[in-house]
Amino acid sequence: TDTDKNNKPGEYSVNNFPNPFNPATRINYSIPFEGNVSITIFNSLGQTVKELINEFKDAGKYSVQFDGSSLPSGIYYYKISSGS
């Protein structure tokens, strides 16, 4: 996971590139407040297939790589949770 704490964001944001991806994508996200952050990947049935991160983060911009090459072809969703 990469971070840029010096450029504190003013709001929450999230995106991934490339989208659609095959077989990997980079999820970029910004959090304006420190707190626990989790990113979870789900399949189209709503089942959890992977937890990318679940840890305390300072306010800042971050990036995490998701490699789905070990997963079957299909549609996947991610959920990011931070703070309250």
- How far is C-alpha 52 from the chain's CA centre? 7
User: What are the C-alpha distances in Å from 8 to residues 11, 19, 32, 33, 50?
Assistant: 9, 25, 6, 9, 28
Whole-prediction pTM:
0.84
Using one digit for the tens of pLDDT, what is the confidence trace for 1-25? 555 556 778 888 999 888 777 788 9
